[in-house]
Amino acid sequence: MKTFVKGFLASVLGIVFFLAVLVAWIELTDPNRGLETEDSAISGTAGASGSGGVIATQTGTGTGTGAAPSTGTGNATGGAAVSSVAESVTDAYAGASASREAVMRDFLAIIEPEVRETFGNNVTVERSDMRIVISFWVDNLITDLSQAQVDDSTMNLWISTKEKADALCTTYYNQLAGFNISNAHITVNLLNERDRDKIILSYEDGRLVHDGLPDSHLRSQMERYTQADTSATSGGSN
């Protein structure tokens, strides 16, 4: 009887041991065990995300988290820098334009009374952006020149008129250039007093750019007029 009991107990203990080993083996070989471990790690990371120190210790999570803010910050900083430069350039251009505008406006206000004092009512002074245009005419000058009435007095008047236009243009252009303004110009025109839409003589920035009545033409015209006058006088004396 005792032998039977001992054998029975030994069998029971063996079965229990076997079952324990079997359960342990099943647990170890369970395919879901790795996923549970990863879930635990993720849960741990998510829970630790509230702490800056824990995020730093998580290699994978730390890299991802650092990369995203780094990229975002870089773009934001770069955009702000480009925007700042663009605004600076715009402000500088606006400031320069305002300065140029002020100089041109003030310069015109200074020279216009001087020009009107020189030419009286026979002048117009206009401004187009960065160009000041002075247009004047001399009573009967072009009329006399075109009608072969050229004599010494008319010729001298023409020469002095050209010199006056040249000096006016050169003087004002040099004064304007002293302000170091780019694309600033002075134009002085002599108009036909019979048709003021026609420009007979034009100077730009101190240079002659158009001469509708060259001195050589006027001198030859004066010579023909003088010869014709002499011939008429000689014929009349005979």
Q: What is the 3-state secondary structure (H, E, C) of 210-237?
A: EECCCHHHHHHHHHHHHHHHHHHHHHHH
pLDDT at 60: 47
pLDDT at 104: 92
Query: Residue 200: is its pLDDT beyond 90?
Result: yes
Split at pLDDT 50, 70, 90, the class of 139 is: very high
Q: Which residue has the tokens 């790795």?
A: 34
Rg (CA), the chain: 51
pLDDT at 9: 61
pLDDT at 2: 54
Side-chain-side CA neighbours of 88 within 13 Å: the count stands at: 6
pLDDT at 144: 80
Distance CA 178, CA 9 (A): 121
The pTM of this model reads 0.56
Percentage of the chain lying above the pLDDT 70 cut: 53
* DSSP-assigned letters across all residues of the chain: -HHHHHHHHHHHHHHHHHHHHHHHHHHHT-TTHHHHHHHHHHHHHHHHTTSHHHHHH-HHHHHHHHHHHHHHHHHHHHHHHHHHHHHHHHHHHHHHHHHHHHHHHHHHHHHHHHHHHHHTTSEEEEEETTEEEEEE--TTHHHHHHTT---HHHHHHHHHHHHHHHHHHHHHHHHHHTTT-TT-EEEEEEEETTEEEEEEEEEETTEEEEESS-HHHHHHHHHHHHHHHHHHHHHHH-
pLDDT at 111: 96
- List the domain boundaries for the chain: 121-237
Residue 156: closest CA among 225, 196, 229, 215: 215
Query: Residue 232: is its pLDDT beyond 80?
Result: no
More confident residue, 112 or 228: 112
Distance of CA 232 to the CA centre of its chain: 69
pLDDT at 155: 83
Pairing of strands 131-136, 195-204: unpaired
Amino acid in position 73:
T
Distance of CA 230 to the CA centre of its chain: 66
Specify which of 9-23, 61-75, 176-190, 217-231 reaches the highest per-range mean pLDDT: 176-190
pLDDT at 218: 76
Query: Residue 204: is its pLDDT beyond 60?
Result: yes
Specify which of 120-124, 140-144, 155-159 reaches the highest per-range mean pLDDT: 120-124
Query: Residue 187: is its pLDDT beyond 90?
Result: yes
The 10s digit of each residue's pLDDT in 57-99 is 344 444 444 444 444 444 545 566 556 655 555 555 455 677 8
The 10s digit of each residue's pLDDT in 8-53 is 666 666 676 677 666 665 666 655 555 454 444 444 444 444 444 4
More confident residue, 216 or 11: 216
Average pLDDT on 129-137 reads 96
